[in-house]
Structure 1
Amino acid sequence: MDEIVERFEVTFNQIHQHLKELNGYPKNDNFVELLQRSKLKHSVIRVHFDQLKQYAKLRNAIVHERIRGDYYVATPHLEVVEDLERIKQTLDQPPQALEFATRPVLFFKEDTPLTHVVEAFRKHEISQFPIYTSNHEFLGLLTNDGIVRWIAGALADGHVNMDGITTKDLLGEDNKPNVEFLSSSGSVFELEEHFETSLEAERKLKAVIITEDGDPDLLPMGIVTTWDLIKVDRRNRDD
């Protein structure tokens, strides 16, 4: 029984350490407080929130309500310890963000005709494309909303002249809004942190583009939108 309790306490403390790390080692490192904060940012914690909260109560009973050195008021079942260890393993080795990205990424050069882009939107049913210069410098993210706005502004007598119009013409002056970059080795925790930080700043993040080392001017290996985050929640629930 002592071995089961020890496994539980060691694993619980390791998860507590992960929660501290995920929250930037705050002064208030109460387990439940950290759990509540992490729930708002990370799907793995959301999925296991109720379990971990109950395990925190069990841990308190083990540590603070021990009758004597070798006798506990409450002890965990083996299944509980194994479940806690599975959660800890997920935190130790979170999946890479690239696993949840849309791949391959369709992108265009700055001189691509608008007619070609509109056809790609229709054919592939993708709502946004990264745009690059001929030297692979990232210029911005062209979205279907951006195209609609441009068409609305260019409409004259019920017609729009798209002759000679390229992707660069549609990006506008503020051509790099709400796009961030992440290395291909980045974890799903880092990915979720990007979206959570932008939310806290009241800035809607349209996408996180994944490149080999997070450099914006490398060609994209994957792109993640808020819709793709649904896959993160679904994967964690299935696990």
Structure 2
Amino acid sequence: MNTLKDKVILITGANRGIGKSLVKAALEKGAAKIYATSRNLNTMPDFADQRVVTLKLDITNNSQLSEVSAITKDVQILINNAGSLNNGTILGGEISGLEYDMRTNYLGTINMMRAFSAILESNAPSKIVNIVSIVAYSPLPTIAGYSASKAALFSATLSARTELAKKGITVHTVNPGAIDTDMNKESDWEMPSPDGIAKIILDQVENGELDIVPDLMGIQMFNAWKEEPSKLAGIFHDIYHGE
């Protein structure tokens, strides 16, 4: 097992949802230091632990990213959790929403991997953990821009995995289903708590799992896709049309 104990970890989007829960779970794992970042530090909770260092970071802001990467040269594990979700279909949604999700979820995460790849190589063995989504396998039409950005991120993550394989950097994907976070607050689905999901994610990272689906809904959807990709597309078709 590759333990997270005594590791230096950077977690983006750490102010709420899975990101906040990942900070708490990493503390429980015995991390030596956790850089917890958010676009707005006023929304950052008090983790009441001196191992947590909070930093302002918008992953689409190259200036902020340069500043943060310059003062976090000791990072050994990068968890890219920050993201955005705009509701809307491909044909009916606002183009600005589609662009924003792509700029944040895809290009912003690529910015992070580029900024930290040399740091992680110097601190190898190290890890990148990208929080993607089950919609990377098939889009949910009501969040079509988000789905497209996560599919692109999934592809980029696999590319980075191959590119970094001989540099001592292991690259993990996490493809959860719906989790009970602010991002899904308008959903009436029965969803698991992000605290439990964060623990599962870090357990599986420690166990060396490269492709992680941490929740029952996600596993059921992944298994449908694995059996036949059209089956997951069919599930989302029925959800969209209320069938």
- Normalised to the residue count of structure 2, the TM-score between the two structures is 0.22
- Pick the structure with greater CA Rg: 1
- Normalised to the residue count of structure 1, the TM-score between the two structures is 0.22
